[in-house]
C-alpha cells in the first residue's frame, strides 16, 4: 500500500524529501541509536491503548469496550440536518471537470477520471 501511495504522489508531483530521525529525547534520556529509537516508538505505540484504558484519570472508561456505545455517549447532541440537493449527471461531470481537489483518499478527482 505504501508503494502505491508513493507512485500516486510522484505522479502528482507531491514528493517529499526523505528525513530520518537522528535523535529522540524522552523524559529520562536522549537516544541516538537507530534501532533503540525504533524500539522506543514501537513500545510506545503498542502500549498506548492499554495505558490510556488503565489510567484512572482517563476519560475513556475501561468498562465501555463497545465503540458504538462510546460514540453514542460522547455525542449526545444530534448532528445538524444536512440538506441534499438532487443534481444531474451532467452537473456532476461539470463539477469533476472544474475541480482539482482531493477527497478523503487524497487522490485528485481529475486523476481518477483520466482515461
Taking the domains of the chain in order of start, what are their residue ranges?
A: 20-81, 85-115
Instruction: With a cut of 70, say whether residue 57 has pLDDT above it.
Output: no
Please check the confidence at residue 85 and state whether its pLDDT lies above 70: yes
Confidence at residue 35, expressed as pLDDT on a 0 to 100 scale:
94
Tell me what the mean pLDDT of segment 34-47 comes to.
92
Regarding pTM above 0.85, the answer is no
Give the mean pLDDT of the chain.
77
Q: Average of pLDDT values for 36-50? A: 91
pLDDT at 110: 66
- DSSP string spanning the chain? -HHHHHHHHHHHT----------EE-SS-EE--HHHHHHHHHHHHHHHHHHHHH-TT-SS-TT---HHHHHHHH--SPPPP-------HHHHHHHHHH---B-TT--BHHHHH--
Reported as a single tens digit per residue, the pLDDT across 87-107 is 888 888 777 766 666 766 777
Amino acid at each position: 500500500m505504501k508503494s502505491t501511495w508513493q507512485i500516486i504522489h510522484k505522479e502528482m508531483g507531491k514528493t517529499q524529501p526523505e528525513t530520518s530521525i537522528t535523535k529522540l529525547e524522552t523524559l529520562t534520556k536522549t537516544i541516538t541509536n537507530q534501532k533503540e529509537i525504533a524500539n522506543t516508538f514501537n513500545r510506545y505505540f503498542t502500549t498506548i491503548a492499554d495505558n490510556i484504558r488503565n489510567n484512572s484519570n482517563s476519560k475513556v472508561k475501561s468498562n465501555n469496550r463497545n465503540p458504538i456505545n462510546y460514540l453514542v455517549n460522547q455525542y449526545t447532541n444530534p448532528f445538524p440536518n444536512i440538506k441534499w440537493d438532487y443534481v444531474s449527471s451532467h452537473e456532476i461531470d461539470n463539477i469533476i471537470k472544474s475541480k482539482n481537489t482531493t477527497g478523503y483518499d487524497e487522490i485528485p478527482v481529475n486523476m481518477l477520471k483520466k482515461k
